[in-house]
Structure 1
Amino acid sequence: MTSPSCPCGLAEPYGNCCGRRHTGAAAAPTAEALMRSRYSAFVKQDAGYLLRTWHPRTRPERLDLDPGMRWTGLEILGTSGGSAFHTTGTVTFRASYRGGSLHERSRFERVDGAWVYVDGDFPGQ
């Protein structure tokens, strides 16, 4: 029996892809990998992972996720920096949900060697 592919859009099964990041078994090696794992965390309603991977200076005290939200796909539109050789990076993406989509340019930084989400803006809005 084949496992379904990861919600982040990669062909790997969730457990071998973003699931490893959600459990803490593996860290995201790039800003894009972190962004994909954060999208998957929204799909899976994993607020704990989202808060753990949010920069301490911009992290909210709590995160209330809408249980009725149905995310339907992720499209990476562009990246800048964010590799093993960088300390900052951006990922521009479109995340689709039932009834619409979210277009964001997210900023990431390394904190103690780990990629974290800083903030984002919404191009064209």
Structure 2
Amino acid sequence: MITDDSRCPCGLGEPYGVCCGRFHRGATTAPTAELLMRSRFSAFAVGNTAYLTKTWHPKTRPADLELDPGQRWTFLEILGKSGGGLLENEGTVEFRAHYRQDRRADSMHENSHFVRVDGQWLYVAPVG
């Protein structure tokens, strides 16, 4: 169970409540594509499907999002990024997301495309 005082799953080392928790609660929106990526990873880790849906571009968002209860997201590595800054409206973030499933460690690698719509960053889809 992750509390506001727990270390945030996104890997920045801050408490969840002042890191990704503030985005999950809707207190503010992620100001960069990388911070949105990190907050989405944390949403997977805490099981926050409402946040994942809200930050997924409507053109690529699945009609129904159901997380696998046997999958536990453990840590995130940001491998690279292009664009996605405070004054930009498009960017990519390459990452490796680590998880455990059926007592076995594994990871997924993706280079994700993000766009800013009406001031809010949204996940679009993998690049390539």
Q: TM-score range by the shorter chain?
A: over 0.9
Per the alignment, residue 11 of structure 1 pairs with 13
Distance in 1, Cα, partners of 2:127 & 2:83: 17
> Structure 1 stretches of 5 or more lacking a match?
none
CA displacement at 1:26 relative to structure 2: 1.3
Map 1:86-125 → 2, pairs under 5 A? 86-98=88-100, 99-121=105-127
1:31-59 Cα shifts (integer Å, max 9, x gaps):
00000000000000111100000001111
Equivalent of 1:56 in 55, 58, 61: 58
Distance in 2, Cα, partners of 1:88 & 1:45: 26
Q: TM-score, normalised by structure 2?
A: 0.91
Per the alignment, residue 83 of structure 2 pairs with 81
1:43-95 Cα shifts (integer Å, max 9, x gaps):
00111100000001111111010111111110000010000111100000000
Figure out how many residues of one structure are paired with residues of the other and give that number. 121
CA displacement at 1:121 relative to structure 2: 4.2
- Aligned Cα RMSD in Å? 1.3
Q: TM-score, normalised by structure 1?
A: 0.93
SS in structure 2 of the partner of residue 107 of structure 1:
strand
Distance in 2, Cα, partners of 1:4 & 1:51: 24
**Aligned AA (1:25):** A
> Structure 2 stretches of 5 or more lacking a match?
none
1:5-46 Cα shifts (integer Å, max 9, x gaps):
100001110000000000100110000000000000000011
After the TM superposition, list the runs of 4 or more consecutive aligned residues in structure 1 that deviate by more than 2 angstroms.
none
SS in structure 2 of the partner of residue 105 of structure 1:
strand
